[in-house]
């Protein structure tokens, strides 16, 4: 049997640790020598790189945005035609004529803005406004041209200036709303709120993990290293200030690291089942989506129960959507009630990213607590 390593003084231990942290180029000193590096760490770093199109006002590639823009334009056309109609019958005729121009024009504007959102995001603010209004004029003229050559071509021809002017006016209103929407995602006064929405790891979890690592250091050094690697990766993501989307596969890997840490602490009391569909792994989700959900399951489902409990995480594809389900058993006695911030934060971030195309449902009974998240693929 190998003899134990000689004791190391606290001073020499601190000196060796300091050299390991200070020199990240020498292999073997410390595998994760940059615990708080938020720019280039691990395979998920590229997914967190800034995307100029993600927070652009031209980011209209969402069903909710398309529906709202179409409803606004048609409501404006309906109200505007009321002033030119003598009675209800003439108003309906004008509304049908205006809708035949407005619908293709609006769709054309949205499609072009979606396709060109990244190059347009590099333009200065004035250039973006010019592009949006010019696109509105072109879309209005295109809609008028389609009406002239389509089934309604028998109507009396109209001059080209009014459709272009209407396109510019409606594009002004829609783009102003999109600008406000983009600003709402990263406003200066909401930096702290977005940090809170990241659901960062609680301090007592850090202390528990470090105490576990200390206890394991002499008994199982390899397991201690794996534990600290998982902790470093969790904090790397938790301290990242980027709000960019990541893949569901990355989120699952991060949740697995978190539960691996908790598995060391709870032992046989924590039983985890993973049912993962590889086809769902490419779905885009907000960062730190699953970790607060599984943390909530551990805190309220496993920790209060003396006999422990079970957690099941399942991903699957259903109708071009990724469905994530997290189920945990409920303890015999109620756990300490929380403030619901973790669940509310996840719901808000899903709404910011996917709008009406995302779903977030919670179900609870005396035996199980179930969270289901649905996001588009």
Domains and CATH numbers, the chain: 63-185 (no CATH), 192-376 (3.30.565.10)
Which residues are bridge partners to 362 per DSSP? 371
CA distance 322 to 320: 7
Give the pLDDT confidence score for residue 311 in this predicted structure: 93
Ranges 14-18, 117-121, 278-282, 321-325: which has the least confidence: 14-18
CA distances (Å), 199 to each of 140, 194, 340, 348, in order? 45, 9, 11, 12
Q: Contact 367/331 with Cβ under 8 angstroms? A: no
The answer, yes or no, to whether residue 255 has pLDDT greater than 50, is yes
CA distance 351 to 354: 5
Q: Which residue has the higher pLDDT, 355 or 299?
A: 299
The answer, yes or no, to whether residue 145 has pLDDT greater than 80, is yes
Give the pLDDT confidence score for residue 274 in this predicted structure: 93
Query: Mean pLDDT throughout 101-122?
Result: 89
CA distances (Å), 81 to each of 89, 355, 356, in order? 12, 31, 30
Measured in degrees and rounded to the nearest 5, phi and psi for residue 62 equal -135, 140
Measured in degrees and rounded to the nearest 5, phi and psi for residue 56 equal -80, 150
> Which of helix, strand or coil describes residue 117?
helix
The answer, yes or no, to whether residue 206 has pLDDT greater than 50, is yes
Ranges 131-140, 151-160, 221-230: which has the least confidence: 151-160
Give the pLDDT confidence score for residue 27 in this predicted structure: 30
- Per DSSP, the residues of 168-231 read HHHHHHHHHHHHHHHHHHS-GGGHHHHHHHT-PPPHHHHHHHHHHHHHHHTT-HHHHHHHHHHH
Q: Contact 317/280 with Cβ under 8 angstroms? A: yes
User: pLDDT tens digits for 73-82?
Assistant: 888 888 888 8
User: pLDDT tens digits for 290-340?
Assistant: 888 998 898 888 888 888 899 999 999 998 899 999 999 988 776 666 656
Q: Which 3-state string (H, E, C) describes 48-62?
A: HCCCCCCCCCCCCCC
Q: Which residue has the higher pLDDT, 261 or 130?
A: 130
Q: Which of 152, 174, 155, 153 is nearest to 108 (CA)?
A: 174
Structure-token match 């995307």, residue found: 51
Q: Contact 259/293 with Cβ under 8 angstroms? A: no
CA distance 41 to 304: 35
The answer, yes or no, to whether residue 371 has pLDDT greater than 90, is yes
In the structure, what pLDDT confidence band is assigned to residue 5 with cuts at 50, 70 and 90? very low
User: pLDDT tens digits for 229-254?
Assistant: 888 877 776 666 555 778 999 899 88
Largest CA distance in the chain: 101
Q: Contact 330/301 with Cβ under 8 angstroms? A: yes
């Amino acid at each position: 049997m190998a003899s134990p390593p000689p004791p190391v003084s606290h001073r020499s231990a601190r000196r060796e640790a300091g050299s390991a942290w200070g020199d990240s180029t020498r292999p073997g000193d410390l595998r994760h020598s940059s615990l708080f590096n938020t720019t280039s760490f691990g395979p998920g770093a590229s997914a967190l790189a800034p995307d100029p199109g993600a927070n652009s006002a031209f980011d209209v590639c969402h069903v909710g945005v398309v529906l709202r823009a179409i409803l606004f334009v048609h409501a404006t056309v309906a109200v505007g035609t009321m002033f030119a109609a003598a009675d209800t019958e003439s108003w309906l005729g004008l509304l049908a004529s205006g809708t035949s121009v407005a619908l293709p024009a609006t769709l054309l504007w949205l499609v072009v803005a979606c396709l060109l959102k990244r190059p347009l995001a590099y333009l200065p603010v004035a250039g973006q406004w010019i592009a949006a209004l010019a696109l509105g004029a072109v879309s209005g003229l295109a809609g008028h041209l389609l009406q002239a050559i389509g089934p309604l071509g028998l109507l009396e021809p109209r001059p080209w200036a009014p459709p272009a002017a209407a396109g510019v006016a409606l594009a002004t209103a829609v783009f102003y709303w999109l600008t406000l929407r983009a600003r709402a995602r990263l406003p200066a006064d909401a930096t702290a709120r977005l940090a809170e929405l990241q659901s960062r790891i609680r301090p007592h979890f850090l202390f528990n993990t470090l105490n576990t690592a200390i206890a394991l250091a002499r008994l199982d050094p390899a397991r201690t290293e794996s534990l600290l690697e998982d902790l470093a990766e969790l904090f790397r993501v938790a301290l990242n200030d980027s709000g960019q989307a990541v893949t569901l596969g990355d989120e699952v890997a991060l949740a697995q690291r978190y539960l691996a840490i908790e598995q060391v602490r709870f032992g046989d009391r924590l039983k985890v089942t993973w049912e993962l569909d590889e086809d769902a792994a490419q779905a885009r989700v907000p960062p730190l989506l699953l970790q607060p959900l599984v943390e909530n399951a551990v805190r309220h489902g496993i920790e209060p129960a003396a006999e422990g409990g079970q957690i099941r995480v399942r991903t699957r594809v259903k109708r071009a959507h990724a469905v994530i389900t997290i189920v945990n058993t409920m303890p015999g006695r109620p756990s300490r009630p929380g403030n619901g911030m973790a669940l509310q934060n996840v719901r808000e971030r899903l709404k910011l990213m996917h709008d009406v195309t995302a779903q977030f449902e919670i179900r609870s009974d005396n035996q199980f607590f179930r969270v289901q998240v649905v996001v588009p693929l």
